[in-house]
Structure 1
């Protein structure tokens, strides 16, 4: 999906529970969107039950400003997505910018892809 695509043309059906993202990359993009709009239910639903926390909370102090998918792989049962998610926080002179880079691992369970875990770094 092109950058800046309308929510309804991209991840909206996934967040609304109308369909399930068909690939690891689509799950990751839907999760990024869920962080942007603070849809904690979608984050919880797409997290593999073996690794998800009891509660998922989006950080309200961050404004997510962009996503760069650096690589994506998809095997029969496991896939990976490496990405950089850009953010801002604060206002005026105390405004900060940064990015979180992550290599995420996704696992297929009952025919659906779930986020399992990831290795992160920050810029």
Structure 2
């Protein structure tokens, strides 16, 4: 049984896997954020691009060799509920990289909007330490 990378559900197939396979849609911006983290962890470029707003979507997702996403921590949510049209999710995504599996963290404030009835990622602002 493969545990879901997002850390919320036990089994990937019953958690973010449902969204990745198109069997369900994210009900909230935070749920979309978690599913996108899982997609990065699984290098699911098609899902990432399909949940990216067309105005800010890149042609490709650049996956970094040797980088392994290990844990997602939702820090703050603003809006982004089932009745909202906009949402903000602040998160910390933890990873390991390099031959010595050096730990690292991506701290970002992401903006989401509801588009054609579903949540999409618009853009994020990376928060740097210090």
Assess same fold via TM > 0.5. yes
User: RMSD of aligned C-alpha atoms?
Assistant: 1.8
Question: Contact (CA 8 Å) 2:109, 2:127: kept in 1 or not?
Answer: no
SS of alignment partner, residue 12 of structure 1: helix
Correspondence 1:13-52 to 2 at 5 A: 13-52=18-57
Q: Which moved more, 1:13-22 or 1:73-82?
A: 73-82
Establish whether residue 82 from structure 1 lines up as the match of residue 82 from structure 2: no
Using structure 2 for the length normalisation, give the TM-score: 0.85
Q: Output the CA distance in 1 between the equivalents of 2:86 and 2:54.
A: 15
Q: What runs of 5+ residues in structure 1 fail to find an aligned partner?
A: none
* d(CA) in 2 for partners of 1:114, 1:38: 18
Q: What is the number of equivalent residue pairs in this alignment?
A: 121
Q: Is the 8 A contact 1:98 1:122 kept in 2?
A: no
SS in 2 for 1:30: helix
Matches within 5 A, 1:1-123: 3=8, 5-75=10-80, 76-92=84-100, 95-122=101-128
